[in-house]
Amino acid sequence: MPFQRHPANHLPKALKVIRNARGLTQEDFGVVSSRTYMSGLERGVKNATVKKLDEIASVMKVHPLTLLTLAYSKSIDKHDVHELLILVQHQLTELREETK
């Protein structure tokens, strides 16, 4: 399967969806980030490093890939998430074969 260009991620929306689902406020991330930084991430005016996403995911009690999956999936719908995970699994299989 050739590389497919993907639209920009929806990290701001994913952060807000998970934060709200967990009943967290932006202030709850104070151990890893400021409220204004979290607000900037959720508004899409700030960018996060992988390390920062690890820390944020930890506060939300989700694996960082859960956060990224939601950010890159068309929606939280089971079918859309499954479709994305199948693509990732296929690409990982290809990479494994190419490194043999």
Structural domain includes residue 56: yes
> Any idea what the CATH number is for the domain that residue 23 is in?
1.10.260.40
Confidence label for 75 from pLDDT (cuts 50, 70 and 90): confident
Q: Is 62 exposed, middle or buried (0-12, 13-18, 19+ CB in 10 A)?
A: middle
Q: Which domain holds residue 82?
A: 11-98
Sort residue 61 into left (φ over 0), alpha (ψ -120 to 50) or beta.
left
Residue pLDDT, tens place only, 29-64: 999 999 999 999 999 999 999 999 999 999 999 999
pTM of the model: 0.85
Structural domain includes residue 2: no
The CA R_g of the chain, rounded to the nearest whole Å, is 15
Provide the number of structural domains found in the chain.
1
Residue pLDDT, tens place only, 86-97: 999 999 999 999
Residues in the chain: 100
